[in-house]
Amino acid sequence: MFLEDTINPNKKKGWIEVVCGSMFSGKTEELIRRMKRAQFAKQNVEIFKPGVDTRYDDEKVVSHDANEIHSTPVPSSSNIPILATGVDVVGIDEAQFFDDGLIAVCNQLANSGIRVIVAGLDMDFKGIPFGPMPGLMACAEYVTKVHAICMKCGDLANHSYRKVEKDELVLLGEIDEYEPLCRSCYNHATNTKSA
C-alpha cells in the first residue's frame, strides 16, 4: 500500500504561515489583512495574542497605523487549542512573547486541518532570534519576511534598535523606545552605545 492510498482527499488540509520582521515593518498589518480576507470568505476565524500585550487595546490586535481586529488574549500557548474549536483559520500576533510550546500548538492545529497565521518579531533588540519564532519559521509551509525602512539611511530595515537603556528582554514600546534600522546603522548605533 502506498502513502497516497491512506490520505483522505476530503479531509481539510492545514498549514502554517509565518509573517516576521522588525518592529514597524507591517507584520500585524499583514496578519490583519489575511484574517479579514478569511472572514470575507465566510471562514470561521479566531485571533489570539499574548495577555501581556496591552499597548493599544486589551482585546484587539491593533497595528501601528490603527488597523484593528478583535482577538482573544491568552496567558500561554496551551490555551489556544482549547479556544480554537470549530475554526478554519487561527491568527496569532506577537508570537515572540509566547512560550516555546507555541511550536507544538501550531503544528497540532495545522495537523488538524486549520490554517495557522503567525506574526512576530524574528529577532530581539540584541539581534538574537526571538522566542519560538525560529522554530515556527522552520516548520511553516510559508514564511514572509517584511521590512521597515531604516530611520537613519532609508534602506530596508531588519533590526529593532532599542533607544532606551533597559536590559530586560520584553519591553513593550513604540517609536519612543524603538526604531527600525538596517544592519549597518544598527551595528553603528550598537557600537556607539557600548563605547
Give the C-alpha separation, 177 to 171, whole Å.
9
Express each pLDDT in 124-153 by its tens digit. Answer: 999 999 999 999 999 999 999 999 999 999
CB 94 within 8 A of CB 53: yes
CA dist., res. 136 & res. 102, Å (int): 8
**Average of per-residue pLDDT across 60-77:** 72
* pLDDT the model gives residue 193: 72
Q: Where are the beta strands (DSSP E) in 1-86?
A: 15-21, 45-50, 60-62, 68-70, 72-74
What is the mean pLDDT of the segment spanning 42-51? 93
Residue closest to 110 by CA, chosen among 133, 134, 80? 80
What would the mean pLDDT of 77-81 be, rounded to a whole number?
A: 97
**Cα(105)–Cα(100) distance, rounded to whole angstroms?**
9
82 pLDDT more than 50: yes
Domain residue spans of the chain: 10-147
**Residue 104 in 3-state DSSP?**
helix
- Separation in Å, CA 59 to CA 62, 73, 80, 105, 119: 9, 6, 15, 21, 17
Residue 33: which residues within 8 A CB-CB, separation 6 or more?
Answer: none
The pLDDT value recorded for residue 56 is: 53
For residue 146, give the C-alpha cell.
517584511
Average pLDDT over residues 90-105: 96
Indicate the pLDDT class of residue 33, thresholds 50, 70 and 90.
Answer: very high
Read off the pLDDT band of 1 (50, 70, 90): very low
**pLDDT confidence of residue 2:** 44
pLDDT of residue 12: 81
Kindly name the residue from 94, 168, 177, 179 that is annotated as catalytic: 94
Q: The domain 10-147 belongs to what CATH superfamily?
A: P-loop containing nucleotide triphosphate hydrolases (3.40.50.300)
Annotation marks residue 174 as catalytic: no
- Provide the grid cell at 170: 520584553
